[in-house]
Amino acid sequence: MTESEPALDFAEIGRKLFAQNCEFIWAADKIDGLPPMGPVEIAFAGRSNVGKSSLLNALTTRKTLARTSHTPGRTQQLNFFALGPDPKEPLLRLVDMPGYGYAAVSKEKIAGWTQLMQDFLRGRASLLRVFVLIDGRHGVKDLDRDMLKKLDQAALSYQVVLTKRDEVKQVQVEKTIADAKAILREHPAAHPDVIFLSSHKGEGLSDLRAAVAQLLYERDRTIFQPAQIG
């Protein structure tokens, strides 16, 4: 943004963006089953049961957009959602990735998911950023570090989103964020900012929506025409 350009309210733009129609359009359990590349995509990764589906539902203000379950490993493929007035030409695609770590399925299936995610992260030119969800009650664990290393190796931009803020004491919030930022300084592909949110209470959702809106604007400054986002 140049000095002559007015400052944009990305929080408000993000609110309008995620108020758009959003619907499931595609699922893929193999790399050759992905939808054709086209619109910009952002993906959500995280350990099994970290709350990816709950976040997608809260982010888009839809209760049943993504399936939620207390059984780890419920998301078993790459699920694509179209966000925008026209699902055939969306402003953005959201991608729900299979959870890594423990899941109530066979080791063979877990190995298949892992390979699918690695292939997706390495070869998807339309993938703009991965938001890595980490349980804010426990901080960055070894499995999370492994995922961050994979993203570094793929040279793919990613940003950490701490979840379950409502279950963390307020006095611990700043320390939890600072600890995560300290770890991220070791990872070259990581965005330095950390978002801490609660899908249940709605805290921090506006920060994530704003981050996505700014990301899209930096990619294409014509994307947020009034006719497109209302």
For residue range 84-98, what is the model confidence (pLDDT) as tens digits?
A: 999 889 999 999 998
- What's the CA gap between 59 and 202, in Å, rounded? 9
Domain boundaries, the chain: 10-219
Give pLDDT, residue 221: 84
Confidence tier at 105 by pLDDT (50, 70, 90): low
What's the average model confidence in pLDDT over 193-199? 97
Give pLDDT, residue 13: 95
Give pLDDT, residue 65: 85
E strand residue ranges, the chain: 22-28, 41-46, 78-83, 92-96, 127-135, 158-163, 195-196
Give pLDDT, residue 18: 96
Confidence tier at 7 by pLDDT (50, 70, 90): confident
CA 211, 212, 217, 220 dihedral sign is: positive
The whole model's pTM is what? Answer: 0.90
CATH superfamily of 10-219: P-loop containing nucleotide triphosphate hydrolases (3.40.50.300)
Percent of all residues in the chain with a pLDDT value above 70, rounded to a whole number: 87
Give pLDDT, residue 75: 57
Percent of all residues in the chain with a pLDDT value above 90, rounded to a whole number: 67
Statement: residue 4 has pLDDT above 60: no
Considering only residues 108 and 15, tell me which one the structure prediction assigns the higher pLDDT: 15
- What's the CA gap between 90 and 82, in Å, rounded? 6
Question: 73 phi and psi, to 5 degrees?
Answer: 95, 15
Statement: residue 2 has pLDDT above 80: no
Give pLDDT, residue 30: 87
Closest to 134 measured CA to CA, from 201, 190, 61, 76:
190
Give pLDDT, residue 229: 61
Query: How confident is the model over 31-86, as pLDDT tens digits?
Result: 899 999 989 999 999 998 898 989 999 999 988 787 644 444 455 789 999 999 99
Question: 67 phi and psi, to 5 degrees?
Answer: -75, 135
Give pLDDT, residue 118: 85
